[in-house]
Chain A
Amino acid sequence: MYAEQVHDYLKTFFKETDCEIVSDEGHMLSVQLTIDMDKRIMNRPFYWQYIEATNSPANPARLNLITDRTKIQNQFLGEIIHFGSGRLHQIFKSTKELGSFVRMYQHGNEGSKMLTPYFCVNYKVSYYCDQTKEVLYSLGINLINGEIEDNFHEFVTKLALKPTIPEKSFCLQYIIKPKRALERLDSMIQNIIQNDDHSWAEEAKKRWDKELEVLDYFYEGVEEKPESYEIEKKGLEERFNPRIKVEIINGGLFFLQ
C-alpha cells in the first residue's frame, strides 16, 4: 500500500464512520473522531471508563495523521501512519468489525423488477503448520433454488447495489432459510477443504517425524527421560502439527435482478 492509497483509504474510512475531516492536505489528514471511533482505535479504555463513571463531558481525540512523511518538514505535527503501522492495523480491524453484515438490493434497469434473494459468506481458510497458507472463498447461495456459486463477491461488486429496495420492485420470498443456507455453505467449504491437496500436511508430518527421531537419538539409552525431553517433544508438536482454520470475514443478503 503506497502513501496515496493509505491516504485515500483513511479518508473513505473516516467519511463512512461519520468522523469529521477537519483538513486534508493530500499528505496529512486531520480528523475529529467520534466517541465510538475513539473507543475503537485509541486504546484508552481507562479514560472512557472514567468519563462514563463520573458522567464527565467526553472529549474524543482529534488525530493528525501524516500519510507521506517525505512531504513533511516537521514530523512532530502529527502521527506518521503507513502500511505496517499499528494504528493502521487497528483501523483495518475496525473496518472489519464495521463491515461485517450487509443487506443490498440491485438497482438499475427501469421498470418493475422481481428480485431473487442470495446469501453470501466470504471465508478465509488458513493452513497452518510451521508454515502458513491462506485462501479466500466467496460463496453465494441462491435462496430459491439452492445453487451455490464461487467468486460471488467479485460478481456482486460489478452490480449497482444500494441498501434500499428500488421502487416498483419486490423481493421473492426465500425458500431456504438463511440459517439453513449458512449450514449449507459451511458444509460446502468443508467439502472444498477435504478435496484440496494436503501434501503440505504430509510434508509437515515428515519434518516432524524427522526432528522427533533426532530428539530420541539424543536421549537414546537414557532410562528415565528428563523433563526437558517432554518439553522439547511438546514444542515439536506445536510447531509441526498441521491445523486448518476457517474464518468468516463478512457476508450478507443480496437481492438481485
Chain B
Amino acid sequence: MIIERSSNWREDFIERFEQDGPWDSWTLYNMSYEIEKMNLIPEFSGLQAPKFLTNIQLLPHQVEAAQTVIEKMNGKAILADEVGLGKTIEAGLIMKEYMIRGIVKKVLILVPASLQNQWVTELNIRFFIPAIAYRKNTPIESYDVVVMSMDTAKKSPHREKIYEQDYDMIIIDEAHKLKNHKTQIYEFVQSLKKKFCLLLTATPIQNDIFEIFYLVSLLKPGHLGNYETFQASFAATKNSIDGERYLKELVNQVMVRNRRQDTGIEWTTRKVETIPIQYTPEEREVYDMISELKNVSSVFSSSFTMVTLLKEMCSSKEATFLTLNKMLQKSITKEEHDYIEEILAKLIKLEINSKAEKVIEIIEKANDKVIIFTEYRATQAYLQWYLYTKGITSVLFNGKFSKSKRDWVKQLFRQRDQVLIATESGGEGINLQFCHHVINYDLPWNPMKLEQRIGRVHRLGQEEDVHVYNLAIENTIEQKILDLLESKIDVFEKVVGELDDILTRKA
C-alpha cells in the first residue's frame, strides 16, 4: 500500500536546525498536540460530527440514519424519511462527518430553485459548512461546497463547468424529480461522477415501480439489475408477493426511511376524512355535457383535454371557463361551435358551487386556521372572492413566490387571515405548523403530492392533531382518481414501506 507523506516539516526542521532557530513557543507546541489529540478519529466507526455541532439539537433517528449510511451503505444512499423528519439535517450530518474525517472536500448540492437559499443558510448556520448559492458567473472552482438549482445545473454552460470539477460528494434534494430517465436532468446526473452520493426524497415511488428502479440505478447501477432483468423479475409479476418482498429488501439496502412513529417523538395524529359531495342538478347537467363532448366531434376526443376539462369542472366554473373558451376559439365546424357555446351559456348561469359551499361549512366548523390546496389558479382566485363574500379573510400562495414574499405571506396567514389558499406548486418549502386543518379541494393524480401538502402542516413542531379533508364529487372523475390513488399507495407500501394516512383507510 502506498504511504503518502504530507507537509514540509522535514525540510523546515533541518533549516531551523542549521540556522539555530527561531524556535517556537513550548506552550503553543503543547496546545497544538492537545488539539490533535482531541480531534483524533480513533475508530473507523461512530460519528465525530455531533460534538462539533453545537447549534443543532440532533434527534436519535437522525444520528442513526447518518451512521447507517456511513457504516452500512458506504456513503451512497436514498434518504427517504417521511416529510418533516429532517432529511436535510441527516444529509448535513453525513456531509460534515465525511468532511471531518478528511474524505470529502468538494460537494455539489442540487436542489429545486426555491430551496436554494434555505440550504445555504442551514449549512452555514447549523453545520458551519461554508456553502454558497450558485448564480450565473459564480466562479465555481473557487468554492468547495456549492448549492445549485437543478434547472441551472443541467444547462450549458453550467453543466460543462460542473463536469470539470471533481466533486467528492453529490447531494440531490427532492430527488423524485429524477424519476424520469428520459429527462435532461437525469442524463446529467447519470454522467456525473458520484463518489459519495445522497438522494433525498420522501416519495421514492410516485406512480409506478420503475421510478424506484431508475432512482436506484442512478445511485448504484446494477443494484436492482439492469432494465431487462428488473422488468422480468418485478414489473411482470405484478402480483407475486415474494417478488415484492425481495424487491423491498433490495431497496432497503440502499435506502433509509424513518417513519414518524418510529422516531420516538410523540406525534399528533392525522385525521383523514374523504368528504363526498353531491352536485346540484344544474352542475350535473354541465358535467354530463362536457363528458359528451367526445361524441360530438373527434376534435375533442383527445383524452388529455377531456380529463383536464372534467377535473376543472369538479373544481370551479372559472377554471372550466378558461379551457372551454380556448376550445371555442379552436373549433372549426358550426356543430362544434354551437355545442360549446351551449355549454358555456349553461356554465355561466351556474350560481352554486357545491364544493365551495362544503368548504365554507368545514371552515366554520373548524373555527381555526385552514389551508386549502387547489390545482388551478382560477379556482384559487374564485375561492378567495367567495370566502370574502362570506366574511372569511384569506391570502394566496403559490410556488413562484420569492423567499421574501413567501415569508410575508406566511406572516399574514399567521397573524391576520384565517385561510391560506395555495396552488399545487406551493406544496414545497413552506412550513406551517401553527395550522391544523388541510382541505384538499382538488385531488392530484399522485398520492405523494397529497403527502407533500399534508407535510406542510403535519411535521416536527406540530402540537395538535391535524385534520385532513379530501373533497370528491360523487359519480365524477374524482371518484376514479380516488381509486387510482389507492392503488398507487398500495404499490408504494409494498415496495418502500408503510405510509401515514393520506386517504381514509378502508375498513
Contacts and interface: CB of A to CB of B under 8 A. Distances in A.
A218 B221 contact: yes
A86 interface: yes
B1 A244 contact: yes
A98 B220 contact: no
Interface in B121-135: 128, 130
A153 B33 contact: yes
B400 interface: no
Interface of A: 1, 9, 12-13, 16-17, 82-86, 92, 95-96, 98-104, 122, 124, 126-128, 130-136, 138, 153, 157, 161-163, 178-179, 182, 190, 193, 198, 200-201, 207, 211, 213-220, 227-228, 231-232, 234-235, 238-240, 242-253
B226 A251 contact: no
Ranked nearest first, the 4 interchain pairs of A and B with the lowest CB-CB distance are A218-B222, A99-B28, A84-B52, A132-B101
B322 interface: no
A67 to B, nearest CB: 12
B60 interface: no
Nearest to B2: A243
B31 A9 contact: yes
Interface in B1-46: 1-7, 9-10, 12-14, 16-17, 21, 23-33, 35-45
A100 B103 contact: no
Given A95-B32, A178-B14, A247-B6, 8 more contacts: A13-B31, A101-B23, A131-B45, A178-B17, A179-B14, A218-B217, A239-B195, A245-B3
A239 B169 CA distance: 10
B226 A84 contact: no
Given A99-B25, A126-B102, A250-B32, A244 B195 contact: no
B191 interface: yes
Contacts of B38: 1
A136 B30 contact: no
A228 B1 contact: no
Nearest to B22: A101
Contacts of A1: 38
Nearest to A13: B31
Interface residues of B, number: 66
Q: Is the interface of A mostly helix, strand, loop or mixed?
A: mixed
B502 to A, nearest CB: 33
B219 to A, nearest CB: 10
A91 B125 CA distance: 19
A186 B222 CA distance: 44
Nearest to A236: B195
Contacts of A231: 191-193
A89 B379 CA distance: 54
A10 B62 CA distance: 33
B24 A95 contact: no
A237 to B, nearest CB: 9
A17 B39 CA distance: 23
Contact of A132 (B25, B74, B102): B102
A42 B194 CA distance: 34
Interface string B136-159: 000000000000000000000000
A83 B44 contact: no
B488 interface: no
B75 interface: yes
A99 B195 CA distance: 36
A95 B31 contact: yes
B223 interface: yes
Contact of A16 (B25, B43, B193): B25
B53 interface: yes
Contacts of B42: 133-135
Nearest to B51: A83
Nearest to A246: B5
A217 B7 contact: no
14 contacts: A95-B28, A99-B27, A99-B28, A99-B30, A102-B23, A128-B102, A130-B74, A182-B14, A217-B225, A219-B226, A243-B1, A244-B2, A250-B29, A250-B32
Given A219-B221, A231-B191, A238-B195, A86 B1 contact: no
A153 B117 CA distance: 47
B13 A182 contact: yes
B194 A235 contact: yes
A201 B13 contact: no
Contacts of A96: 32, 35-36
Contacts of B220: 211, 214-215
Interface in B184-206: 190-196
A136 B25 CA distance: 21
A95 B27 CA distance: 10
A253 B26 CA distance: 12
A222 to B, nearest CB: 8
A138 B29 CA distance: 13
Nearest to B35: A92
Contact of B23 (A92, A103, A178, A216): A103
B221 A133 contact: no
A215 B226 CA distance: 10
